[in-house]
Amino acid sequence: MKKTICILLTSLFIISSILLTGCAEKTADTNETTVTTENEATSVTEEITEAAETGNLPDVKYNGEEFRILAQLDGNRHYDVFAEEADNNDSVRDAVYQRNKTVEERFEVKIVVEFDVFSNVNAAIDRMVKSGTDDFDLCFVHMVTGAALALDRDFVPFEKLEYIDLSRPWWDQSLKQGFSIGNELFFANGDISPSSFSTTSCLYFNKKIMERNDLEYPYELVKSGKWTLDRFTEYTKDFTRDADGDGKIDPHGASDMFGLTSWAYDVPYSLYYGAGGSLVSKDENDMPYYDPQVERDEQIYGKIYDAVITNNAYFESADYNNVGQLFINGQAMFYDASLLLADRLRDMNDEFGILPMPKFDESQKEYRSFVNGASSMVCVPASCQDLQRASILTEALAEEAYKTVTPVLYETYLKRKVSRDADSAEMIDYIIRNRVFDMGYINMFEGIGSYVRDLLLAKSTNVASTFKSREKASENTIKKMIEAYNSKS
């Protein structure tokens, strides 16, 4: 728990007002009776203080050699490895800069960073590996599109990088389910990337609207483990309405009201994974297999359908900017987005709160948070010639970020600048504790991984037939993944 919280926390850096969307248990643990309680929401800062760990890196010097990093420029992801001068007006950027300088001085190395858009980063890595050129020691790649490079063995398995210890709290322990094959993890993340997990899903709610309608803020429901899809649907039932009396409900109008405003490439995944959904499982050898639970998914989807379609949410697939603007205008009770979007809401007139995604029901043990496919991941390219040095300096950057960047990011940015009240600050602990990665989303985004989105767009409830129609293609995708792994192992 300590490791997961500390790592995920770091990655929640919120600096952009535009969300970069991704390319992407039985019924919500119905046999479990444990519920999340208030005492479980341990402060990340307390965990960091308690776990003041130090790595076991050798005392080596590199006499001014360059450590070359290729990173993404898109959106907020350039914040991962700032190489410029520090900016005293931006405490997180300053902390990242100081992290880099500390590592440079400790190992007598020069960190050199090259930025490009994510598609060019992926193409450059593939060319570099295929040609055998040693251009970069460490790369930051797009999570979904980078998955194909991982299957092509363009990256060195982290288990073969001598000085990287994935059990340390500065590495994300939840990635194995979504990314490893045969106990090999080809890219990872954690405190080393302060921007990468800013795309963690959450729900924003308008406090003024709730007060006007005599509704209780859902904070206590969250703390008692009772924040569920049914309760969420109760809040928004019969709320969407034609407020200006012109005979239509217009999301571009000035006064019509909505229970939920949502983006079609976010909310289906946010609600599905938040409710315990998954599409791929692992066997005893950590090999993936397609594992649809039709009965479970029919129940999950039924609740999602009620929240989005039956309750007439604003479910938009074309005009992305209007989704958030509707909430900013005070015309929506709830807004499904990521923690990244809180920065856009800072000038909103109405007060807002932040919540984790609802559970399937009260028997579900934990709140779960979907991670959008645009998240950044770190990898060591297979053409890197000095793997020992790459492993030492990568581990050093992650460890130092855990000590230097994480406390600043969490206390200064998230809990003081983003959240507007103590309860919302506490909700962030719930949001980041259990993040979800599923191969069905990552490797089958344009297939079964997006079935909830596709059915909602069609206003369909044909879950079983959808699984049946996509079964063969999904199984073939998993088969090809395993074949690609075995062919180069």
Q: Which pLDDT score is estimated for 59?
A: 95
| pLDDT higher than threshold 90 for residue 80 | no
**Residue 361 covered by a domain:** yes
Residues 79, 187, 445: CA angle, nearest 5 degrees? 90
* C-alpha–C-alpha distance, residues 14 and 208, integer Å: 24
Q: What mean pLDDT is predicted for residues 330-340?
A: 93
Query: Are 105 and 218 contained in the same domain?
Result: no
Query: Which residues, other chains included, contact 362 with Cβ-Cβ below 8 Å and sequence gap of 6+?
Result: 35, 225, 226, 228
| pLDDT higher than threshold 80 for residue 182 | yes
* C-alpha–C-alpha distance, residues 48 and 21, integer Å: 30
DSSP code string of 289-311: EE---HHHHHHHHHHHHIIIIIT
Query: Are 243 and 275 contained in the same domain?
Result: yes
Task: Quote the domain boundaries for residue 119.
Answer: 2-18+45-197+375-420
Lowest-confidence segment of 101-110, 237-246, 400-409 by average pLDDT:
400-409
* Amino acid present at 368: R
Query: Are 246 and 344 contained in the same domain?
Result: yes
Closest to 204 (Cα-Cα) out of 356, 98, 317: 356
**Residue 152 covered by a domain:** yes
* C-alpha–C-alpha distance, residues 229 and 221, integer Å: 12
* C-alpha–C-alpha distance, residues 333 and 436, integer Å: 26
Contact 358, 222 (CB under 8 A): no
3-state secondary structure of 321: helix
CA distances from 146 to 143, 184, 187, 269 (A): 5, 16, 9, 19
Q: Is the dihedral of CA 178, 181, 185, 187 positive or negative?
A: negative
What pLDDT digit, counting tens, does each position of 365-392 carry?
Answer: 999 999 888 888 899 999 999 999 999 9
Query: Are 262 and 397 contained in the same domain?
Result: no
Q: What mean pLDDT is predicted for residues 233-262?
A: 96
Confidence class for position 37, pLDDT limits 50, 70, 90: very low
Query: Are 7 and 153 contained in the same domain?
Result: yes
Query: Are 390 and 340 contained in the same domain?
Result: no
* C-alpha–C-alpha distance, residues 35 and 32, integer Å: 8
* C-alpha–C-alpha distance, residues 448 and 450, integer Å: 5
Closest to 439 (Cα-Cα) out of 265, 280, 258, 268: 280
| pLDDT higher than threshold 70 for residue 3 | no
Confidence class for position 4, pLDDT limits 50, 70, 90: very low
Can you read off the two tokens belonging to residue 24? 């992407």
What's the total number of domains in the chain? 2
Q: Which pLDDT score is estimated for 51?
A: 44
What pLDDT digit, counting tens, does each position of 192-221 carry?
Answer: 987 776 778 999 999 999 999 999 999 999
Query: Are 379 and 442 contained in the same domain?
Result: no
**Residue 37 covered by a domain:** no
Confidence class for position 170, pLDDT limits 50, 70, 90: very high
Query: Are 216 and 136 contained in the same domain?
Result: no
Confidence class for position 85, pLDDT limits 50, 70, 90: low
DSSP code string of 84-116: S---TT-HHHHHHHHHHHHHHHHHTEEEEEEEE
**Residue 251 covered by a domain:** yes
Q: What percent of the chain has pLDDT over 90?
A: 61
Q: Identify the helix (H) or strand (E) that includes residue 202.
A: strand 201-206
Can you read off the two tokens belonging to residue 270? 């946010």
Q: What mean pLDDT is predicted for residues 426-444?
A: 87
Query: Who wins on pLDDT, 16 or 262?
Result: 262
Q: What are phi and psi for residue 190, nearest 5 degrees?
A: 160, -145
Contact 171, 159 (CB under 8 A): no
What pLDDT digit, counting tens, does each position of 53-74 carry?
Answer: 566 899 999 999 999 999 988 6
* C-alpha–C-alpha distance, residues 285 and 27, integer Å: 25
| pLDDT higher than threshold 50 for residue 1 | no
Query: Are 147 and 242 contained in the same domain?
Result: no
Query: Are 334 and 465 contained in the same domain?
Result: yes
Query: Are 180 and 207 contained in the same domain?
Result: no
Query: Are 217 and 264 contained in the same domain?
Result: yes
Report the CATH number that the domain containing residue 89 is assigned in CATH: 3.40.190.10
* Amino acid present at 95: A
CA distances from 189 to 422, 469, 482 (A): 29, 35, 23
Q: Identify the helix (H) or strand (E) that includes residue 324.
A: helix 320-328
**Residue 34 covered by a domain:** no
Q: What is the dihedral of CA 424, 16, 116, 139, to 10 degrees?
A: -10
Query: Who wins on pLDDT, 488 or 299?
Result: 299
Q: Which pLDDT score is estimated for 243?
A: 94
Q: How high does pLDDT run on average in the chain?
A: 85
Query: Which residues, other chains included, contact 185 with Cβ-Cβ below 8 Å and sequence gap of 6+?
Result: 157, 158, 159, 166, 175, 176, 179
**Residue 469 covered by a domain:** yes
**Residue 27 covered by a domain:** no
Q: What is the dihedral of CA 357, 360, 366, 372, to 10 degrees?
A: -40
Q: Which pLDDT score is estimated for 88?
A: 59
**Residue 33 covered by a domain:** no
